[in-house]
Amino acid sequence: MPHGTLADALAERPLVLDGGLGTRLDDRGADVSSALWSAGVLADRPDLVLEVHREYLEAGADLVTSASYQVSYEGFARVGLDRRATDALLSRSVELTRQACDEAGHGWAAASVGPYGATLGDGSEYRDLGLGVAELRAWHHDRLRVLADAGPDVLAVETLATLAEVDAVVAELEGTGVPAWITVTPVDGRLRSGEPIADAIELAAASDDVLAVGVNCCPPEEVAGAIAAARSATAKPIVVYPNSGERWDAASRTWSGVGTVAHGLVRSWREAGAAIIGGCCRTRPGDTRAIRGVLSPDAPKA
């Protein structure tokens, strides 16, 4: 198991985050076609979720992310699960990451906290839904606390598209007792809402509960500019995990384009200030292994 805290490790060397959980579950034959995406696999095949966590740790990941991104009370109610059952699945998602790390003898467990839009299952996390801070606080409140109580090493609050949701999450992190990172999803150098990345980073980084800030689920070419924006706003560690560069069509539920996982850019991201680097949608254990090789080929695992 890791020696010291995640913050201690970040002060010593760059860390490798895992890749696309839903992508790998799909590769392994799981049905991720429903609106529940990988959350449905968590409910039906937790053994397979555990196997994918093991694959990423074996490939060199220092952090593995739970299958809780798209878990919500509303989403699971639509398939007949009540709040108690949903809470149990949220906790189970963290337990699976912890079990994988315990078995591997290394690694940190990151509890995925997806945005409100993700739970609609229609690509809404990539646009501004017009919700206010109070509404978003109320929506995040219970789920955040259940995940925190499950004992992850870090809360991975990811794919936020608006300043309002960043503001809401920062407020709701207070009192959880678990450090968090907050990552936004940019396009053309700004949030999906059109607001500046640096404003979101500055807002998130001002919280003592936030360990690191950055971007995820964006094309690789967005990363360098996002790191520069983040570094202009804070000295806290920066986390980046872009997707493969392919594009998701929510209407047809298919990917288009050619993936160009930018292993050659990893070193430049590190030199620009990224402290945690991994992959998001359409990246796999092979990509994790390549990132590990670029960042710290001889470093001991966590």
pLDDT digits (tens, 9 = 90+) for 49-95: 999 999 999 999 999 999 999 999 998 898 888 999 999 999 999 99
* Phi-psi map region of 66: left, alpha, beta (phi>0 left; psi -120 to 50 alpha): beta
The predicted model gives 25-31 an average pLDDT of 90
User: Closest Cα partner for 112 from 171, 152, 55, 62?
Assistant: 152
In the chain, the percentage of residues whose pLDDT exceeds 90 is 76
Neighbours of 300 (CB within 10 A): 8
CA distances from 95 to 65, 107, 209, 249 (A): 11, 13, 22, 32
The structural domain count of the chain equals 1
Looking at residue 37, its pLDDT comes to 67
The confidence band for 1, taking pLDDT boundaries of 50, 70 and 90, is very low
Looking at residue 251, its pLDDT comes to 65
Output the pTM of the full model.
Answer: 0.93
In a domain, 202, yes or no: yes
Tokens of 263: 């292993």
Helix (H, G, I), strand (E, B) or coil at 279: coil
In a domain, 122, yes or no: yes
Tokens of 153: 């090493």
- Give yes or no for residue 205 having a pLDDT over 80: yes
Lowest average pLDDT, out of 76-80, 130-134, 224-228, 291-295, goes to 76-80
Looking at residue 264, its pLDDT comes to 77
- Contacts by 50-54 with C-beta closer than 8 Å and gap 24+? 50/96, 50/99, 50/100, 52/21, 52/24, 52/25, 52/28, 53/18, 53/96, 53/97, 53/99, 53/100, 53/101, 54/100, 54/103, 54/104
Burial category of 258 from C-beta neighbours within 10 Å (exposed 0-12, middle 13-18, buried 19 and up): exposed
Q: Between β-strands 238-241 and 274-277, what pairing exists: parallel, antiparallel or unpaired?
A: parallel
Mean pLDDT (the chain, rounded): 91
- Give yes or no for residue 247 having a pLDDT over 80: no
Cα–Cα dist 79/40, whole Å: 10
Looking at residue 244, its pLDDT comes to 83
User: Closest Cα partner for 19 from 89, 95, 112?
Assistant: 112
Q: The CATH number of the domain where 167 resides is what? A: 3.20.20.330
Cα–Cα dist 140/109, whole Å: 20
Cα–Cα dist 136/159, whole Å: 14
Looking at residue 23, its pLDDT comes to 92
The confidence band for 210, taking pLDDT boundaries of 50, 70 and 90, is very high
Looking at residue 257, its pLDDT comes to 64
The whole domain housing 190 covers: 6-295
Radius of gyration of the chain (CA): 17
In a domain, 32, yes or no: yes
Residues 195 and 161 sit within 8 Å (Cβ to Cβ) = no
Looking at residue 31, its pLDDT comes to 82
In a domain, 301, yes or no: no
- Give yes or no for residue 250 having a pLDDT over 70: no
Looking at residue 256, its pLDDT comes to 63
The kind and range of the H/E element at 54 are helix 46-58
In a domain, 131, yes or no: yes
- Give yes or no for residue 43 having a pLDDT over 70: yes
- Give yes or no for residue 302 having a pLDDT over 50: no
- Would you mind telling me the total number of residues written for the chain in this entry? 302
Q: Give exposure, 166-182, as e/b (b: 16+ Cβ within 10 Å).
A: bbbbbbbbeeeebbbbb
